[in-house]
Every structure is written in structure tokens, then in C-alpha cells.
Structure 1
Amino acid sequence: MNTADIADIFAAFGPVRCRRMFGGLGLYADGVMFAIAVDDAIYLKTDADFAARLQSAGSCIFGYERQGRPVTLGFWSLPEAALDDADLAAELAARAAMIAQTAALRRPARRRTPTDAPEE
């Protein structure tokens, strides 16, 4: 999946910025990553309620193997129906973006060490 395909799917949602990461793409809106695109599939960031909704629509959880063990993340695939329904894709993307915004607000601020601190 390329950036043009992603822009087309989420056209009704609004601008989506894509950034290469881990062999796929991170999808950003309003400064937060709300989805990932990996191997021709889009996975939306979820909470428990949204994951249940997507699962009931036939979605599957994003997972991979690390050091011989399965790893799953809180991202579920965009339902097939949303690939051809811009309004549904926009609704689901908006929910994922809201979940991503909420998660970002809960994270503690990153501390940065100044590299040019005055010597004593």
C-alpha cells in the first residue's frame, strides 16, 4: 500500500501524513499516530471497546514474531467494508485518532538532557 492509496482511503477523514517505520508506514493526523500500514493492510489504534467493534466487523489484530514469540499490539485491521466506503473509513479513523490523542495526553512528557549545558 502506498501513500496515494492511503490518501484515497482517508480522503473524507482529512489529511494523513505517512512516515516510514519498521518496514511499514505510520499514519499520522493532528500530530499523533492513529494507524499503521503494513503488508497492504491498515491497522487502526484501538482501546478495548473499539477493538471489540472492529473484531465483530471481521478485523484482526496486528501481530508479529520477535525472538520466536508472538507479539500483538493495540492495532486492529481496517474492515474490508471501509476500503470502499470513504465515510466509514473517516468515522473509524476519527475514532482511532481520538484514542491516539487520549493516549498521548496520558503519557508523561519526555525529558531531554541539554547537550550544551554549561560546565561547572
Structure 2
Amino acid sequence: MSLTQADMAFARELFENIPDLTTRRMFGGMGIYCGSQIFALQLSDGRVMLKAAKGPFADRMKALGGEEWTYTRKNGAAASMPYWTLPDAYLDDPEEACALAREAMAALG
């Protein structure tokens, strides 16, 4: 599956108040950047995910109802990536989504 133009437009509009916002197609999805720093992904199924390494911000994402990106490796082992789904309430509120994205970037250093 690959993102539609409408999916990509939605993510760009959601984060349009992030300075120096750029996007790049990757692996059927899209990387979302502030300058050269990737802070979010949009997966090929349309889910928007914020980058959150282990620690306080990842804990906050979990408390807000976000889910960590997990997948199964070829050998059957479970693995996870440092990205969390953007909670549904934030998908309807660009101002809050951008505020949470700024928190993600601050946590990344």
C-alpha cells in the first residue's frame, strides 16, 4: 500500500505551522521534517507517528493513548521503532498536533 496524495496533504496541513516543514516519500510512506530533523512519519496506511525514543516523551505519548510502532522481523521476533501514533484527538486539531510535535523535537535534542 502507498500513501495517497490526500493522505500526504492531510499530514502537511496538520503540521503546517512547524517552521521549515519538508516531507520526503520513503518506503511507501512519508518522512516529515523540521529542517533536517525528522520528527514524524506517515506510514503507508496513513497513520501519523511522532518520533519518541525511550524516556519521558515516549511515556507521555503512551499516556495520551499513542501506540508504539511494532512489527515482526523475518525470523519471527517482535521489534519496535521509536515512533508512536498520534492520538486521535490530535488528528483533528492542528494547533495541538504542532504543540505535541514541538515536544517531540525538544525531546530529540
Out of 78, 89, 102, which is 2:86 matched to? Answer: 78
State percent identity of aligned pairs: 33
Whole-Å Cα distance in 2 between the matches of residues 17 and 64 of structure 1? 26
Where 1:7 maps in the other structure, the secondary structure is helix
Stretches of structure 1 lacking an aligned partner (at least 5 in a row) = 103-120
- Say if 2:60 is the partner of 1:18: no
Q: Superposition RMSD on alpha carbons, in Å?
A: 1.6
Give structure 1 regions of 4+ aligned residues with deviation exceeding 6 angstroms.
Answer: none
Residue 53 in structure 1 maps to residue 73 in structure 2: no
Q: TM-score, with normalisation over the residues of structure 1?
A: 0.75
In structure 1, the partner of 2:49 is 43
**SS at 2:66's partner residue?**
coil
Give the counterpart letter for 1:32 in structure 2.
Answer: Q
| Structure 1 SS opposite 2:23 | strand
Aligned pairs, number: 101
TM-score where L is the length of structure 2 = 0.81
Give the greater-gyration-radius structure (CA): 1
